[in-house]
């Protein structure tokens, strides 16, 4: 077998077998096959695609490139949730403790943010003391003891994905359905959960710009999970607007705390309930989706989800008093108001522009080793459907620097204000 024949076979639109896919992935992970040949291999997949079986073999080859967590020492059903990444998406901070407060085991590994979307791990690190790097043994003990752990991915988990993702990033091969599906699912399968709920984002701020493409990605991931004997559900959600009001690390943690207190923005609260309900249902803790939603709402009303969040923070050496008193979070030096120049209804807030503005304020990173500032970010005071008058505050910029006019204008231009407004749904489809 040789890599040139495999590249040509895929380039000509033919189906690869398990051995050929393993040969390419193992060869690349072990530094036997060079970047330039795998770049051509990725580009051939980008143009010719892969069928469900090939995509599954690709996922398995990536999964087997590193450690696979053995969660068998955790009693009960283990669940995990993953989002394909969105602006203001702090759903895991709410869903994980909410679901865990019902007794469902949440053993979750999350990534750091890159580009305009933030990572759960970065957000958690804005809580003083919170340790994302606990050992596998402590991870398992913690889930057995308090029902939830939120940690960073270990370096040994799916090393093939780390190499492939960096290469895809610089070869124009990121937005390919089999490549995204295998990248996400190899990591989810390596983390060992029995039930996985995927939040697939659709719209300007997401990888998948339209519903058709997002459905294909969701189906590809659900199929991979099923072939591996896991229960997988994918929720397709609108990402043409940022989720909730807060964008930026500690600002998002504060919004998650408010949501667990029952005072979160409506769109964000709705999505948290929707995602929690899917996990509750798939874990067999409710008979139907309505009962599952009612349980999720109850855990907000009785503050059990909030308590569990504080338990989680404490278990991971963070200062849990911040969860009960979010005014303790460090403030940015300055807060600048972004002022409306037109009146009318906010129709849309461009997620990509808000994500980029927040990154420029210092809340995100362009390169993986950039240091983020937990204090800075944006709070969207007006959301789609709100009426604004000239002079109203649209958004607040939390900054440690003098006002940057480019950032200000980016946020102002992200707002599309029109004479009328028609609401669009947040959840677009659910695929199982
Ligand atoms: N997230 C991932 O982990 N991988 C991709 O390819 C895209 C999004």
Percent of the residues in the chain that have a pLDDT greater than 70, as a whole number: 99
Look up the CATH number of domain 78-324: 3.40.1030.10
Mean pLDDT, rounded, for 204-212: 83
- How sure is the predictor about 365, in pLDDT bands with cuts at 50, 70 and 90? confident
Q: Provide the pLDDT for residue 111.
A: 76
Q: Is 145 considered catalytic here? A: no
d(C-alpha 254, C-alpha 263), whole Å = 11
- Delimiting residues of CATH 3.90.1170.30 domain(s) in the chain: 332-418
The residue whose CB lies within 8 Å of the most ligand 1 atoms, and thus the one to mutate among 58, 164, 184, 196, is 184
Percent of the residues in the chain that have a pLDDT greater than 90, as a whole number: 86
Instruction: State pTM to two decimals.
Output: 0.93
- Ligand 1, atom 3: nearest CA belongs to which residue? 184
Spelled out in words, what is the top-level CATH class assigned to the domain 332-418?
alpha beta
- Delimiting residues of CATH 1.20.970.10 domain(s) in the chain: 3-49
Separation of CA 168 and ligand 1 centre (Å)? 10
The pLDDT tens digits for 236-294 are: 999 889 999 999 999 999 999 999 999 999 999 999 999 999 999 999 999 999 999 99
d(C-alpha 159, C-alpha 104), whole Å = 29
Mean pLDDT, rounded, for 85-99: 94
- Delimiting residues of CATH 3.40.1030.10 domain(s) in the chain: 78-324
Q: Which residues line ligand 1 (CB under 6 A)?
A: 84-85, 179-180, 183-184, 207
Beta bridge partners of 208: 202
Q: Is 250 considered catalytic here? A: no
Q: Residue 49 has what DSSP assignment?
A: -
Question: Which residue, 234, 176, 237, is CA-closest to 202?
Answer: 237
The pLDDT tens digits for 367-411 are: 777 889 999 999 999 999 999 999 999 999 999 999 999 999 999
H-assigned helices in 286-340: 289-301, 304-315, 321-324
- Ligand 1, atom 6: nearest CA belongs to which residue? 180
d(C-alpha 398, C-alpha 379), whole Å = 8
Q: Is 82 considered catalytic here? A: yes
> Which two structure tokens, joined as six digits, stand for 5?
């024949």
Phi, psi for residue 41 in degrees, rounded to 5: -60, -45
d(C-alpha 120, C-alpha 149), whole Å = 12
Look up the CATH number of domain 3-49: 1.20.970.10
> Which two structure tokens, joined as six digits, stand for 47?
């143009």
Cβ within 8 Å of residue 349, ≥6 positions away: 241, 242, 380, 383, 384, 414, 415, 416
């Amino acid at each position: 077998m040789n890599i040139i024949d495999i590249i040509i076979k895929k380039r000509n639109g033919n189906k690869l077998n398990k051995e050929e896919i393993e040969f390419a992935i193992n060869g690349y992970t072990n530094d036997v096959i060079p970047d330039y040949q795998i770049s051509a291999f990725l580009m051939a997949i980008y143009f010719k695609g892969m069928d469900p079986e090939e995509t599954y073999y690709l996922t398995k080859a990536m999964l087997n490139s590193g450690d696979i967590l053995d969660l068998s020492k955790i009693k009960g059903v283990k669940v995990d949730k993953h989002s394909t990444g969105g602006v203001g998406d702090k759903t895991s901070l709410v869903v994980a403790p909410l679901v865990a407060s019902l007794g469902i085991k949440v053993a979750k590994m999350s990534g750091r943010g890159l580009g305009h979307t933030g990572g759960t791990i970065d957000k958690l690190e804005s809580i003083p003391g919170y340790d994302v790097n606990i050992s596998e043994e402590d991870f398992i003990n913690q889930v057995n003891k308090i029902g939830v752990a939120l940690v960073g991915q270990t370096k040994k988990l799916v090393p093939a994905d780390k190499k492939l993702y960096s290469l895809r990033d610089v070869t124009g091969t990121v937005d390919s359905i089999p490549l995204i599906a295998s990248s996400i699912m190899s990591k989810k399968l390596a983390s060992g959960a029995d039930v996985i709920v995927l939040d697939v984002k659709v719209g300007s701020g997401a990888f998948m710009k339209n519903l058709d493409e997002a459905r294909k990605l969701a189906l590809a991931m659900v199929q991979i999970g099923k072939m591996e004997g896991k229960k997988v559900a994918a929720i397709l959600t609108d990402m043409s607007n940022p989720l909730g009001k807060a964008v930026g690390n500690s600002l998002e943690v504060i919004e998650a705390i408010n949501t667990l207190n029952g005072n979160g923005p409506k769109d964000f609260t709705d999505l948290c309930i929707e995602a929690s309900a899917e996990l509750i249902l798939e874990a067999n803790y409710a008979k139907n989706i309505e009962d599952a939603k009612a349980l999720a709402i109850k855990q907000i009303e009785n503050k059990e989800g909030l308590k569990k969040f504080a338990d989680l923070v404490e278990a991971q050496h963070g200062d849990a008093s911040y969860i009960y008193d979010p005014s303790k979070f460090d403030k940015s030096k300055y807060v600048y108001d972004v002022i409306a120049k037109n009146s009318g209804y906010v129709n849309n807030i461009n997620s990509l522009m808000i994500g980029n503005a927040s990154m420029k304020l210092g809340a995100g990173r362009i390169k993986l080793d950039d240091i983020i500032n937990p204090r800075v970010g944006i709070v969207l005071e007006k959301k789609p459907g709100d009426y604004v008058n000239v002079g109203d505050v649209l958004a607040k910029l939390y900054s440690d620097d003098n006002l940057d006019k480019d950032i200000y204008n980016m946020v102002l231009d992200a707002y599309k204000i029109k004479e009328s407004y028609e609401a669009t749904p947040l959840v677009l489809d659910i695929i199982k």
